[in-house]
Amino acid sequence: MSATTDEVTVKRDRTHYLYIAVIVAVVLGAITGLVVPDFAVGLKWIGTTFVALIKMMIQPVIFCTLVIGVGSVRSAASVGKVGGLALVYFLTMSTVALAVGMLVGNLLDPGEGLNLSDDVAGVGKEQAAEAHGSTTEFITGIVPDSLLSSLTSGEVLQTLLVALLVGFALQAMGRSGQPILAGIGHIQRLVFRVLAMIMWAAPIGAFAAIAAVVGETGVDAIKSLLTIMVAFYITCFLFVFVVLGAILKLATGVNIFSLFKYLGREFLLIVSTSSSESALPRLIAKMNHAGVEKTTVGVVVPTGYSFNLDGTAIYLTMASIFIADALDKPLSIGEQISLLLFMIIASKGAAGVTGAGLATLAGGLSSHRPELLDGVGLIVGIDRFMSEARAVTNFAGNSVATILVGQWTNTLDHAQLDRVLSGEDRFDEATMVDDHDTSPPPASPAEELAPSGR
């Protein structure tokens, strides 16, 4: 047993090199983009391919996690309680995020005095065309063409719907459904192992993605819009560490810095890919390890990725005010509230889609204040850089939400959480990024998937 433990420890230590390599790759990518921009832009397909590899794993992970979480509990009411409480919390925090963004945007007026060229304005019209109809198609888009297509459609909400139906069906089957649950558990273990292999390509994907962005945008474009970028980053920082930090501390006694230290590798992965989805499987595994029951994690985390978009809410708020000020056509408070509520609803239908924030912004302006539509082009140049802060804030909000809902539904093991955050019980990285052929330790999140009867 000790030899196996030592082997796993060695394997875990090896993963540090992977994440150090990601940091080095990001720095080298930025330098490459500045020194040889034409070459760097040509690397864009590599970064896009890496993100696509991760995204192809999202729906299988969500399906397996949610089916096991729902199917393993005896009472459907407990799942409904978790989901209902989570949705109320998501709606409340989206409103708070809107308010914070509006406050900062109106105080700073970051777009005042800027001028737009015809070329830049033209981009805004293209983005609006892509966003048209996202709200009206939201409800019908939840239903997949077939049961199996929900795993291949790329629509997370379709996967959520089918996973819930399958989970409740297995729950109703009782003992006869347990072999199916065990089978799905083995599939989940396979999915995590495939993801582990993909993760070893993270440094290459991060290098190419950052190099392409810097090479395509250039330093001058960033300088011209530095004010809105800095303001947005500061706003996200204050929202996460002041608003979310205070709520987490008051409700659970957990220090948000300790939680984020535990999730440090996930934040690094998000920054390098500009996609919070890239860390979704790891968040599920780590929240399980931290003492939140599988049912709660299986409901809150996937749902939060579609409905708990705090960073996107702040982005839409500040970008709208910025564009209105840049065109010298400021929005009244009433117009801001009406426009931004529309955008938050629309963004739910576009969750998980690359560039969805920009498309939602353009679609909202087109429907409410068409004369402001041309200003969307001003955001295009820095949208990729702002997406890092959006993704990090969204991820932070979902990690905090999982702990809070676990606390409120009595599905959080405080003793286990304390051990994890103090470093006494470290997360087994072998389940996520190890490439050896032996099975992960029994205590890993990918294991122990049969119903526990708790």
Q: Looking at the domain assignment, is residue 23 inside a domain? A: no
14 is a domain residue: no
The confidence score (pLDDT) of residue 118 equals 47
* Confidence at residue 250, expressed as pLDDT on a 0 to 100 scale: 94
Instruction: State which residues form the domain around 231.
Output: 58-173+219-425
Q: Classify residue 291: in a domain, yes or no.
A: yes
Is 77 within a domain?
yes
Q: How far apart are CA 320 and CA 228, in angstroms?
A: 11
> In the chain, how many domains are there?
1
Residue 37 domain flag = no
Question: CATH number for the domain including 396?
Answer: 1.10.3860.10
**pLDDT tens digits for the chain (454 residues)?**
444 444 444 344 455 677 678 778 878 887 888 888 889 888 888 877 877 777 777 778 778 877 877 776 655 556 677 878 888 888 888 888 888 888 887 777 665 555 444 444 444 555 545 544 444 565 777 788 888 887 877 676 788 788 888 888 888 888 888 888 889 888 888 887 887 788 788 788 878 877 876 777 666 544 555 777 788 888 899 899 999 999 999 999 999 999 999 998 888 888 776 667 778 888 888 998 999 988 888 888 887 877 777 888 888 888 888 877 777 777 777 777 777 776 666 555 444 444 556 666 766 676 667 777 666 666 655 666 677 788 889 899 999 999 999 999 888 999 999 999 988 888 876 655 543 333 333 333 333 333 333 3
pLDDT for res 243: 92
For residue 45, tell me if it sits in a domain: no
Would the CA dihedral through 80, 59, 172, 139 be positive or negative? Answer: positive
Type of residue at 256: I
User: Quick check: is 416 in a domain?
Assistant: yes
Q: What is the pLDDT of residue 425?
A: 84
Say if 38 falls within a structural domain: no
Helix axes of 294-307 and 376-408: crossing angle, nearest 10 degrees: 160
pLDDT at 274 (0 to 100) = 67
